[in-house]
Structure 1
Amino acid sequence: MRSIVCKMLVPLLLLWQLPACAATILVFGDSLSAGYGLAPNQGWVALLARDLAPRHRVVNASQSGETSAGGLARLPDALARHKPDVLVLELGANDGLRGLPMVEMRRNLQHMVDLARARRITVLLVGMALPPNYGPRYGAEFRAVYDDLARANRLPYVPLLVQGFAGDLSAFQPDGLHPRAEKQDTMMRTVKAKLPVK
């Protein structure tokens, strides 16, 4: 009798030890999320994975140089492969740096939001800003894409990934675009604050 009870209790104990409400978080971005110029364990996504482990799993599918069009082409396969509960969508900076039409960027990002939502995946949208030399008009149009998408789709939203140090050139690598290692924790905490998981 005791052996039967033990066999019944063991699976229950194992379930009790598993983290409640565990989620898979897929970070889908460009070089800012891929950790350009940093050691593999220094980027904000790697820091987030360590911070949320073991309760949640973080997968980084970011690629340096990625545009919104490239991301849209890759996203269906990434969603099918990783089956995330949350998609952190951080794309568009390279569209802006290349001077691509904002209407295309908006359409691509909206399509990615739609693809995720069709699979009941929560989307956290992460925005960026362009360097001032791109001009105030184009810079404002660029920022407005993120603001409008977040509002129209009622998305959890990080308006600026480099919030708190965007104007500090010493916080960036020599290219002036990619934050240094010491700022990655700030970026991680900015994103974590808006994640729909605890």
Structure 2
Amino acid sequence: MIRLLLVAFLAVASLSARAGGVLVLGDSISAAYGIEKSDGWVALLEEELEQRCRDFPVINASVSGETTAGGNSRLTALLHKHAPQIVVIELGGNDGLRGLSPVAMANNLAQMIEKSRAADATPVLLGMRIPPNYGQQYTRLFEQQFRQVSDDKQVPLFPFFLEGVVEQGWLQNDGIHPTEQAQPLLKGHALSVLEPLLPTRCGNGKGGGNV
């Protein structure tokens, strides 16, 4: 009996020790495709929060080629393992590039939001757009899903995560993935929705966090 209690205590202590922080669930844009991982926007965010926050890690669970269905299938285990305070969902681009159903994408996003909240984590969305060659109707419907999910679920949203990247010419030769030069801008986009949610100890001055 004592041994069982000790095991349970250690499990709770271990969870408490790793609880909190930011979990980034994304695709190749967040996995730093084509550049050094240490130069990616997630790594830059981690560096900044290491300086600003105490014990508030950034966990990058992004996978190149990931769809919303794939992220949804992985999320429960990630929530259990990392117990994050904030979940950043940067998915949907591969759904669009593969011509998958925008409605199914929205359903997956909504489920990830619900799973995050059920695990006492606050979700945020980083939206995406796709090239116009997919047709006006599809591209419009695709873009609308992020706003619709954000409105329905009352989730912070950055509407187009790559805003400004194309205009600056900060795309790799494939015309899809951001270059190293774009990563500080992407970090800034993410922080614009994360900032109000960070713990007060991170010095954001907004008091949005609970710890």
Could you say which TM-score interval applies, normalised by the shorter chain? 0.7 to 0.9
Counterpart residue type for residue 106 of structure 1 = A
Distance (whole Å) between structure 2 residues aligned to residue 179 and residue 75 of structure 1: 25
Identity fraction in percent: 41
The Cα shift of 1:167 comes to 4.2
Tell me, what secondary structure is at the counterpart of 2:38?
coil
Distance (whole Å) between structure 2 residues aligned to residue 23 and residue 192 of structure 1: 17
Distance (whole Å) between structure 2 residues aligned to residue 176 and residue 188 of structure 1: 20
Tell me, what secondary structure is at the counterpart of 1:34?
coil
TM-score w.r.t. length of structure 1: 0.86
Alignment partner, residue 47 of structure 1? 44
Distance (whole Å) between structure 1 residues aligned to residue 145 and residue 166 of structure 2: 19
CA RMSD of aligned residues (A): 1.3
Tell me, what secondary structure is at the counterpart of 1:77?
helix
Alignment partner, residue 4 of structure 1? none
Alignment partner, residue 124 of structure 1? 124
Distance (whole Å) between structure 2 residues aligned to residue 138 and residue 153 of structure 1: 23
Contact 2:66 2:91 in 1 (8 A): yes
Counterpart residue type for residue 172 of structure 2 = Q
Contact 2:165 2:171 in 1 (8 A): no
Contact 2:146 2:159 in 1 (8 A): yes
Alignment partner, residue 138 of structure 1? 138
Which structure has the bigger radius of gyration? 1
Counterpart residue type for residue 178 of structure 1 = H
What's the CA shift string for 1:138-165, capped at 9, x where partnerless? 1111111100011111111111111123
What's the CA shift string for 1:84-143, capped at 9, x where partnerless? 000000111100000001121111111111101111210111101101211221111111
Distance (whole Å) between structure 2 residues aligned to residue 105 and residue 191 of structure 1: 21
What's the CA shift string for 1:4-25, capped at 9, x where partnerless? xxxxxxxxxxxxxxxxxx9400
Counterpart residue type for residue 28 of structure 1 = L
Distance (whole Å) between structure 2 residues aligned to residue 136 and residue 172 of structure 1: 23
The Cα shift of 1:194 comes to 1.0
Distance (whole Å) between structure 2 residues aligned to residue 164 and residue 69 of structure 1: 28
Tell me, what secondary structure is at the counterpart of 1:176?
coil
Distance (whole Å) between structure 2 residues aligned to residue 163 and residue 116 of structure 1: 26
Alignment partner, residue 6 of structure 1? none
Alignment partner, residue 83 of structure 1? 83
Map 1:76-115 to 2 at 5 A: 76-115=76-115
**Runs of 4+ off more than 6 Å:** none
Tell me, what secondary structure is at the counterpart of 1:123?
strand
Distance (whole Å) between structure 1 residues aligned to residue 69 and residue 113 of structure 2: 13
Alignment partner, residue 154 of structure 1? 154
Contact 2:165 2:178 in 1 (8 A): no
Runs of at least 5 residues in structure 2 that lack an aligned partner in the other structure: 1-18, 199-203, 205-211
Counterpart residue type for residue 36 of structure 1 = Y
TM-score w.r.t. length of structure 2: 0.80
Distance (whole Å) between structure 2 residues aligned to residue 96 and residue 167 of structure 1: 21
